């Protein structure tokens, strides 16, 4: 009987194979298409995000995983052409250098720096590194890290000169080229004759202010922003190209500002016991009542800038949970003082119910070792950043609409991401530092997976606006933060 089964098995197998040819086909359901768009020649305009900046640097792997590169790869499935990027050569793959995880201290990653090998010298200002120049004439990824809309019309922005310059723009231009970014884009448009573009400028018009704790570049002026933003979009659409513009995400949502938990740091500082000797001396020196003396405790103090009738002035105050401590503050708070002030950095004494004279006495006798402003985005600065972001986004959206462009509302998307995270194909991603997969080690710029998520969101906006069916990518095929393997 077994024999009969053995004999009939091949027959059954054959029959099954013949009939098993009924492989269902979903590839035309729906069929990929470019819709009303034409992706044959694509250029990308923007800043560090467009350049593929990641882990605090531009390096080859980051460039290869830039969102324009991912978009171009998907566009190719619906008639898109080749896409040239100003890649660092293999021999200079580490580019401007970048942050990496070198090990772990318990569960906390220890960060180290991968040395740059794409630096060829020092600029005429004796401080800006000169990067390996991209000599190709085919560049389609025009992302320049650090550039603001406020900078795009500035002549000499990428010109190696003693007053300083942008090295990432300098490496895209021929040597000693004093053109502005807008002029460079004009030349690219004239040469490439793009049929499609993306424009994600604007982030640095608020980020520079925010990431320096409000100490560096000011927030860009909306009127100037409107003029320059409109001009660059006009340049991009001169040949009738279709395209996409993207809004500015609320920078307060990125790990640079959210990783150090202000409330918990404040709690820890407050619960640290004040040595009895200090309490005793202060009680005597300030003639504290027993009730006042009972409230002596440590507090976390920060420097903030307030506007007074005579101009901005620096004020020291105790931090509240509404202030955002930057990622960089974590290696500073409660470390030994670097000044004459005997308190550890960020710490000071707080006493409740002091009379003005007593308060002045405390400030004189035991001034707080306040955290410098660059480590804190204080509540006032947060409000200023958010208000300006909203204003600039309104301009971006208005200009985009007036030209009938697709609009990727990055602000809305990243707000949702910060609230709910993003689960794709069963893999959880959040806006958290390191563990969230989407933000790189600088706490601001995405990882390759973060860029893939952005590319997919842009594709959704493009598909909706132009009736296209550009396929998205499997974002889980792109890495998060690189762990030692």
User: Which residues are at the interface with other proteins (CB under 8 A)?
Assistant: 1-2, 4-5, 8-9, 12-13, 15-17, 19-20, 22-27, 29-30, 32, 104, 423-428, 434-435, 437, 456, 459, 469-474, 476-477, 479-485
Q: What is the nearest approach in angstroms of other proteins to the Cβ of residue 117?
A: 21
**What is the 3-state composition of the chain as percent helix, strand, coil, each rounded to the nearest 5?**
40, 20, 40
Between 334 and 412, CB nearer to other proteins: 412
Q: What is the nearest approach in angstroms of other proteins to the Cβ of residue 441?
A: 11
Between 26 and 223, CB nearer to other proteins: 26
Q: What is the nearest approach in angstroms of other proteins to the Cβ of residue 422?
A: 9
Q: What is the nearest approach in angstroms of other proteins to the Cβ of residue 340?
A: 41
Strand, coil or helix: 107 = coil
Between 304 and 430, CB nearer to other proteins: 430
Between 87 and 459, CB nearer to other proteins: 459
14 is written with which tokens?
């054959």
Which run of H or E residues covers position 264? helix 262-271
Residue 233 makes CB contacts below 8 A (sequence gap 6+) with 199, 245, 399, 400, 403, 405
Q: Where are the alpha helices (DSSP H) in 408-480?
A: 410-420, 448-466
Between 230 and 476, CB nearer to other proteins: 476
Distances, alpha carbon 44 to alpha carbons 66, 68, 143, 357, 440, in Å: 10, 6, 7, 61, 21
Between 325 and 468, CB nearer to other proteins: 468
Q: What is the nearest approach in angstroms of other proteins to the Cβ of residue 87?
A: 21
Residue 333 makes CB contacts below 8 A (sequence gap 6+) with 260, 265, 269, 300, 325, 344, 345, 346, 371
| CA–CA dist 312, 406 (Å, integer) | 41
Between 324 and 481, CB nearer to other proteins: 481
Distances, alpha carbon 170 to alpha carbons 39, 66, 119, 140, in Å: 28, 20, 12, 16
Measure the N-to-C terminal CA separation of the chain; round to a whole number of Å: 55
Q: What is the nearest approach in angstroms of other proteins to the Cβ of residue 28?
A: 10
| CA–CA dist 196, 75 (Å, integer) | 10
| CA–CA dist 461, 345 (Å, integer) | 47
Supply the DSSP string of 148-211, one letter for each residue: -GGGTT-TTTTS--TT---HHHHTTSPTT----HHHHHHHHHHHH--SEEEEE--THHHHHHHH
Q: What is the nearest approach in angstroms of other proteins to the Cβ of residue 451?
A: 14
Helices (H) and strands (E) in the chain, counts: 16, 16
Q: What is the nearest approach in angstroms of other proteins to the Cβ of residue 61?
A: 11
CB of 303 within 8 A of CB of 370? yes
Residue 447 makes CB contacts below 8 A (sequence gap 6+) with 54, 437, 438, 439, 440, 478, 479, 480, 481
Between 11 and 240, CB nearer to other proteins: 11
| CA–CA dist 118, 320 (Å, integer) | 43
Q: What is the nearest approach in angstroms of other proteins to the Cβ of residue 13?
A: 6
Between 322 and 464, CB nearer to other proteins: 464
Scan for tokens 């923007």, then name that residue. Answer: 46
Q: What is the nearest approach in angstroms of other proteins to the Cβ of residue 435?
A: 8
| CA–CA dist 416, 146 (Å, integer) | 25
Q: What is the nearest approach in angstroms of other proteins to the Cβ of residue 410?
A: 18
Between 32 and 212, CB nearer to other proteins: 32
Between 222 and 421, CB nearer to other proteins: 421
Q: What is the nearest approach in angstroms of other proteins to the Cβ of residue 110?
A: 11
Distances, alpha carbon 293 to alpha carbons 272, 274, 354, in Å: 16, 11, 10
Between 249 and 480, CB nearer to other proteins: 480
| CA–CA dist 368, 362 (Å, integer) | 9
């Amino acid at each position: 009987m077994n024999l009969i089964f053995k004999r009939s098995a091949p027959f059954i197998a054959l029959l099954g194979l013949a009939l098993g040819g009924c492989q269902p086909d979903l590839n035309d359901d729906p069929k990929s298409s470019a819709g009303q768009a034409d992706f044959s020649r694509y250029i990308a305009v923007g800043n560090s995000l467009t350049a593929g900046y990641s882990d605090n640097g531009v390096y080859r792997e980051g460039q290869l995983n830039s969102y324009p590169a991912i978009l171009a790869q998907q566009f190719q499935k619906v008639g898109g052409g080749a896409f040239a990027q100003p890649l660092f050569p293999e021999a200079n793959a580490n580019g401007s250098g970048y942050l990496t995880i070198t090990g772990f201290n318990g569960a906390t990653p220890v960060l180290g720096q991968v040395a740059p090998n794409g630096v060829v010298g020092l600029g005429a200002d004796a401080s800006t590194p000169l990067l390996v120049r991209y000599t190709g004439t085919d560049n389609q990824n025009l992302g320049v890290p650090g550039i603001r809309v406020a900078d795009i019309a500035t002549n000499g922005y990428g010109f190696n000169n003693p007053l300083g310059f942008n090295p990432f723009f300098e490496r895209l231009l021929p040597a000693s080229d004093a053109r502005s970014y807008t002029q460079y884009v004009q030349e690219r448009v004239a040469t490439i004759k793009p049929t499609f573009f993306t424009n994600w400028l604007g982030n640095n018009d608020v980020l520079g202010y925010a990431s320096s704790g409000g100490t560096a570049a000011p927030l860009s002026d909306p009127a100037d922003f409107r003029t320059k933003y409109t001009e660059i979009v006009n340049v991009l659409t001169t040949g009738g190209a279709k395209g996409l513009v993207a809004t500015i995400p609320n920078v307060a949502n990125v790990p640079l500002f959210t990783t150090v938990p202000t409330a918990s740091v404040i709690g820890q500082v407050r619960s640290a016991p004040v040595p009895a000797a200090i309490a005793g001396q202060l009680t005597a020196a300030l003639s504290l009542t027993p009730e006042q003396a009972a409230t002596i405790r440590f507090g976390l103090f920060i420097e903030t800038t307030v506007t007074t009738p005579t101009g901005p002035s620096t004020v020291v105050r105790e931090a509240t949970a509404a202030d955002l401590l930057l990622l960089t503050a974590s290696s500073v708070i409660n470390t030994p003082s670097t000044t004459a002030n005997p308190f550890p950095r960020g710490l000071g004494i707080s006493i409740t119910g002091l009379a003005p004279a007593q308060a002045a006495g405390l400030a004189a006798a035991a001034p707080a070792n306040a955290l410098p402003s660059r480590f804190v985005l204080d509540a006032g600065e947060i409000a200023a950043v958010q208000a300006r972001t909203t204003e600039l986004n309104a301009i971006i959206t208005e200009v985009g609409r007036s030209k009938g462009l697709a609009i990727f509302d990055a602000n809305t998307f990243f707000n949702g991401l910060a609230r709910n995270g993003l689960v794709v194909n069963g893999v959880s991603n959040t806006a958290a530092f390191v563990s969230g997969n989407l933000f790189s080690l600088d706490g601001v710029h995405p990882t390759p997976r973060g860029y893939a998520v952005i590319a997919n969101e842009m594709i959704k906006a493009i598909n909706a606006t132009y009736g296209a069916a550009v396929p998205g990518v499997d974002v889980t095929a792109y890495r998060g933060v690189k762990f030692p393997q």
